[in-house]
Structure formats: structure tokens, C-alpha cells
Amino acid sequence: MVLLVGPTAAGKTELAISLAELLGGEIVSADSRLFYLGMDIGTAKPSAQQLARVPHHLINISTPDRLISLPEFRERADAAIAEIGRRGRLPIMVGGTGQYISAVVEGWEPPRMEPNIRLRTVLERLGSERGFLWLHRGLSHLDPAAAARIDPNNLRRTVRALEVTLLTGRRFSEQRSRAAPKYRLIGLGLLWPRPELYARIDARIEQMFAMGLLEETRRLVESGYSPRLPTMSAIGYPECVGVLSGQWTLEQAKAMMRKATRAFVRRQSNWFRRSSAELNWFRMEEDLPARLADHVRHVLSSAPN
């Protein structure tokens, strides 16, 4: 399996499609924001034209009020990869959500403890009242390893880690087992100098609003999807809800999105450094798709049967 990773706004989507066209591949998305129908502009989801160029898997597979859990994602991803392989095609996993990539690459087996609704409700209320960061700091005191792997804005994952830790008396990170790796990986990483990447992020945010991010957020809320849903915590939607409610101005929302996205990029970089996947890093250049395709072909031709 080819694994293509890189920070948000690095150009992974178009690069992966070009690579799949050159190699006879199919794309398995490992971006947790792309699972949900109707959340298109704010997640920079591939366009209909891009989706039509090569087969994509695990995009638009749920509604915003039905979360795709980490174990469910891993099972679906494994099934998609196996199906692609059976048809003689090359699976190309693409994304920037480190936890979801690690779950597949490292064969994570999260604790299968039944949820405690009473405790979960209390934790979720605390997160809503005092802020996601406050709750995440609490997790960092109890289980630093788990906190380091969980996005502070991911309320659901933070609550789950706290729930398991508090109920069992053991750290969540210590209860996650790993199966033997299933895949022979060809790891590719996409590099950008940080100033250029930040400029791309700023341009993407402007483009999102020009494409109708505020209107998309309004449609989601008017369709009955509460702004308190974990899916609606993805960068861009809380800021737009604030604008729509008069809490802050459009320019304030853009500034908050820029700050949050930069912090997200730093967390992605931390995952890249810790990841067990061996990654070969490439700078974005005009001929990069062809160069990556040649690299993959070389690795495939020299690999043992």
C-alpha cells in the first residue's frame, strides 16, 4: 500500500489523484473530516470532478450526527484496501489525520469497553461549559501519551480516553493493543517550507469563504445538526457559527481559523516525527507526480515476492 501524508493545505488531494491515474490506483481517505455528507467546503473535500477521476473510498460515508469511530474506520479501511488489492489495483491511503493512519498502519486495537452514558454525559457537559482545551489538559495530567495523540479539539476522543481511564483506573494509552502489521508500505511525505505552507493556508481560508462556507454552515444548522456535535467542531464551522450568531465578525473568524489551522499543522508535524511508518519526503514541484510514480514503481519492482 502507498501511504501519502502531509500537512493540511499541502496539495495532497490533487497529487494523490494524479498518482493514482499514473499507477492504476484507488484512493482510501484517512481524513476524518471527509466522512460526513454536507461538510464539503469547510473540509476542502475533493470536488465532484476530482472524485470522478479515480475511485475514492471512505468519503461521504455518514451524516454529521453519526460519528465514525476509530475502530469502525480501521475496519472499513482494511476492507477497502483488501477489495482494491483483489481487483489488482494499488491502494493509496491519503490523509493528514495521524490517529486514523496509525490505526491502520500499526493495527491498533482500541479498548472495547462499553460506554458509561452517565460519566460520558458529565464529561461532555464539562467540555462544553469549560472548553475542549480545559478537558484535554485534564487528560494530559492523567495520561500524557494519550493526550499527545488526541487533537485537543476532538471532544469525542478526549472524552473516550478520560472515560476509559477513570472507569478502569488504567491509562487509556496502556490499554490499546496492536496487531501485526498487515501491509507492506511505501511511505511518501509531502514537504512545504512553513512560510509557504502558511500562505497556502491563508489563501485556502479566503477561498472557502468565497465558495460559501458561511452558507454551508447555515444549511447544516438549519438541517438540524447542532453546533455542539463533535463533527461540527472541525476548524471553520465553530468560527462560522460565531459569525452567524453575531458573536464575532467575519475577519475575527478568519483570524481564528488561521490560528487554529497553524496549531493543527504543528500537531501533524509531531505525528510525522513519531510515526512508525517509514516516510520518504518530497518537496512539491511541477513534475512531482511523475517522480513519485517512478519511485513507487522502483520500490515495487525491487520488493521480494
Give the model's pLDDT for residue 148. Answer: 81
Give the model's pLDDT for residue 195. Answer: 94
Residue 305 pLDDT > 70: no
Q: Which residue has the higher pLDDT, 244 or 283?
A: 244
Give the model's pLDDT for residue 46. Answer: 95
Residue 223 pLDDT > 80: yes
Collapsed DSSP state (helix, strand, coil) of residue 25? strand
Maximum separation of any 2 CA atoms in the chain, in Å: 61
Residue 179 pLDDT > 80: no
Give the model's pLDDT for residue 151. Answer: 76
Distance between alpha carbon 140 and the CA centroid of its chain, in Å? 21
Residue 171 pLDDT > 80: yes
Give the model's pLDDT for residue 178. Answer: 64
- Within the chain, which residue ranges are assigned CATH 3.40.50.300? 2-110+178-302
Mean pLDDT within 254-268: 93
Pairing of the two strands 186-191 and 108-109: unpaired
**Homologous superfamily of 2-110+178-302:** P-loop containing nucleotide triphosphate hydrolases (3.40.50.300)
Mean pLDDT of the chain: 90
pTM: 0.82
Q: Which residues pair with 95 in a beta bridge?
A: 5
pLDDT grade, residue 22 (50/70/90)? very high
| 131 φ, ψ (degrees, to nearest 5) | 105, 145
- Within the chain, which residue ranges are assigned CATH 1.10.20.140? 117-175
| 226 φ, ψ (degrees, to nearest 5) | -65, 140
Give the model's pLDDT for residue 279. Answer: 87
Give the model's pLDDT for residue 130. Answer: 86
CATH hierarchy code of domain 117-175: 1.10.20.140
Q: What is the pLDDT of residues 110-168, one digit of tens each?
A: 666 777 888 988 998 888 788 888 999 999 999 998 888 787 877 778 998 999 899 88
